[in-house]
Amino acid sequence: MRENSVRSGSPVFHHAVVTGGAGFLGSHLCDELLAAGTDVTCLDNFLTSSPDNVAHLRSRPGFRLIKCDVTDYVHVPGPVDLVLHFASPASPADYLRLPIETMKVGSIGTLHALGLAKEKGARFLLASTSETYGDPQVHPQPETYWGHVNPVGPRGVYDEAKRFAEALTMAYRTTHEVDTAIVRIFNTYGPRMRLDDGRAIPTFVQQALDGAPVTVAGDGSQTRSVCFVDDTVRGIIAVAASQLPGPVNVGSPDEMTVLELAQHVVAATGSGSRIDFVPRPVDDPMVRRPDTALIERELGWRPLVTWQDGLNRTIEALAAARSV
C-alpha cells in the first residue's frame, strides 16, 4: 500500500498534469502536489476558473500553467507519471449555463486526458462526483450503488457526463491497460470558491455578510455531507498513490440538513440575516451522504478538519475575496 499522503515521504510522482488545475479544487490539488516535490503542469481554459487561483504558484520551480481547452488537442512535453482530470464546470449554476461545454469536457475532454495518460504510461485519476448517484434511493451511498439519475433533466448534462467519463475510464483500463482510478467527490467547500458559483455555502456566506435574507431551497430538510477542501485533496491523492481502481467515495460521512447548514453560516458570520425559503430546483437530491468504508479500510483516510474550523476558514477567505 502506498502512503495516503505524498507529503509523508519522498514524492510518489515526479510530474503530474492537472486538467482544470486553476479551479477551486484543482488549485488546492496543485498546492498539495507541489508541496510534496511533484512537478505540476496545470491545464485550464478559465471558463469557470481563474488564473488568480494559482497566481501564488507561478514563480514556484516545477509549476507550469498552460491555457488549454482539453476538448481540443492536448500535448504535454516530457515524461508524465500522473494525469488528474478535474476539468469541468462543477456547480449547478455553471453547468446549467454551459450544458454543451459540460458534456464535451466530460466526453471529449476525458478521451483526450486518457489518451495523454496512455501515451505517457501514466496513472490516470478521474474526478467523478456524488452526482452519479442522482437523487439516491439508497442511503448512505456505497460505490456499488448504480444511482437514480434523470438523464433528460436539467442536471443530466453534468450527471451523465460524469457517468460517461467513468465508463470511458474503465474502457481504457480494460482495453488499453491504462492504470486508472475513479474518485466520486462529495460536496467540498473551502477557500477559493467563487462567491457567485451558486453552491450553498458561498451563497449563504455572501448573503449573510450582506445582511440579506439567506435563501434555503424547499423547507431545508434535504441533507448534505460537506468536506473541507484540505481533507478532500488528501483523500484524492491517497487514491492516486494507491493501486485502487475505484470508484472510491471521497467525502464526509457527517450529514446535516441544508437548513442547519444555513443556520450555522448565519451564526458563524454574526449576521442578523433571516432565513427565507425558496422553491427547490428540479431533481435536487433529497439526501446525500457517502459510505466511506472503502477508503477508510484500504487507505486509512477520514476527514480531519472539523466543520466549525473549516467553516470559519472558509468565511474568512470569502470575506477577504469580497474586499478585493
Model confidence pLDDT, tens digit, residues 79-112 = 999 999 999 999 988 999 999 999 999 999 999 9
**Banded pLDDT at 73 (limits 50, 70, 90):** confident
CATH architecture classification, 6-190+228-253+289-305:
3-Layer(aba) Sandwich (3.40)
- Residue 210 CB-half CA count within 13 A: 12
Q: Given this model, what pLDDT does residue 323 score?
A: 74
Global pTM reads 0.94
Q: Given this model, what pLDDT does residue 3 score?
A: 38
**Banded pLDDT at 324 (limits 50, 70, 90):** low
- Is residue 266's pLDDT more than 70? yes
Calpha distance 102→104 (Å, rounded) = 5
Calpha distance 133→184 (Å, rounded) = 10
Domain positions in the chain are 6-190+228-253+289-305
Q: Once rounded to an integer, what is the mean pLDDT over residues 195-213? A: 93
Using one digit for the tens of pLDDT, what is the confidence trace for 115-166? Answer: 999 999 999 999 999 999 999 999 999 999 999 999 999 899 999 999 999 9
Calpha distance 296→291 (Å, rounded) = 10
Q: Once rounded to an integer, what is the mean pLDDT over residues 27-45? A: 97
Q: Which residues are catalytic?
A: 158
- Contacts of residue 254, defined as CB under 8 A and 6 or more positions apart, other chains included, come to 225, 303, 307
CA distances for 229 relative to 69, 247, 274, angstroms = 25, 19, 28
Q: Which three cell numbers stand for residue 270?
A: 454574526
CB 165 within 8 A of CB 106: yes
Using the 8-state DSSP alphabet, how is residue 109 labeled?
A: I
Q: Given this model, what pLDDT does residue 223 score?
A: 94
User: Closest Cα to residue 20, out of 75, 74, 69, 91?
Assistant: 69
Q: Given this model, what pLDDT does residue 259 score?
A: 97
Q: What is the CA radius of gyration of the chain?
A: 19
